[in-house]
Amino acid sequence: MATISAKVREKRNLVAKLLSGDEPNININSKYPEVEVSRAYSWYNTNHIPEEGREWLIVYLQSNNYSTDFINNIKLKQIPMVFCSIARLLTRNIQLPEKTIINFNKFLQEQNTDSGSEVKNKKVSYVSKLLTVDSKIDIIMSNIEEATDQLILTGKYEYSLYNDIKSQDIKSPTVKEIYSRLQSRIQQVLELADNPKSNIKEYYIKHTREQKKAVIEFHRMLDADCIKALQVTKVVRQNRKKRPINAEKVLKTFNYKKEDTQLKIHSIEPSKILNSSILVVYNTKYKRMTVFVAKEGEKLSVKGTSILNYDDTKTESKRVKKPEEATSQILSGTNSSILKTFAKFKSTPQAVTNRINEDTLLLRVS
Backbone angles phi, psi at 59, to 5 degrees: -60, -45
User: Digits of tens for pLDDT over the chain (366 positions)?
Assistant: 344 555 555 544 444 444 445 788 888 887 777 777 877 877 787 777 888 888 899 999 999 888 888 888 887 777 888 888 899 999 999 888 887 888 888 888 877 765 544 433 333 333 334 457 777 887 888 788 778 777 766 777 788 888 888 887 888 888 888 888 888 888 877 777 766 555 555 555 556 677 778 888 888 889 889 888 888 876 555 556 667 778 888 888 999 999 999 999 999 999 999 989 999 999 999 899 999 999 998 999 999 999 999 999 899 999 988 899 989 999 988 888 899 989 888 887 888 889 999 999 999 999
Please report the pLDDT score of residue 316 as a whole number.
Answer: 92
Taking the C-alpha atoms of residue 38 and residue 30, their distance in angstroms, rounded to an integer, is: 14
Taking the C-alpha atoms of residue 3 and residue 12, their distance in angstroms, rounded to an integer, is: 14
Exposed, middle or buried by CB within 10 Å (0-12, 13-18, 19+), for 308? middle
Please report the pLDDT score of residue 113 as a whole number.
Answer: 65
Query: 319 pairs with which residues across the strands?
Result: 288
- Asked if 315 and 293 touch (Cβ cutoff 8 Å), the reply is yes
Angle separating helix axes 172-194 and 133-154, nearest 10 degrees = 30
- Asked if 266 and 258 touch (Cβ cutoff 8 Å), the reply is yes
Closest CA to 317 of 292, 284, 344: 292
Total Cβ atoms within 10 A of residue 252: 9
Within a 13 Å sphere around the CA of 139, how many CA atoms are in the beta-carbon half?
A: 18
Taking the C-alpha atoms of residue 77 and residue 124, their distance in angstroms, rounded to an integer, is: 10
Taking the C-alpha atoms of residue 3 and residue 11, their distance in angstroms, rounded to an integer, is: 12
DSSP string for 271-309: GGGTT-SEEEEEETTTTEEEEEEBPTT---EEETTEEES
Query: 364 pairs with which residues across the strands?
Result: 280
Please report the pLDDT score of residue 204 as a whole number.
Answer: 59
Please report the pLDDT score of residue 269 as a whole number.
Answer: 93
Q: Is the pTM of this model over 0.85?
A: no
> H or E element: which one contains 14?
helix 2-15
Taking the C-alpha atoms of residue 364 and residue 299, their distance in angstroms, rounded to an integer, is: 15
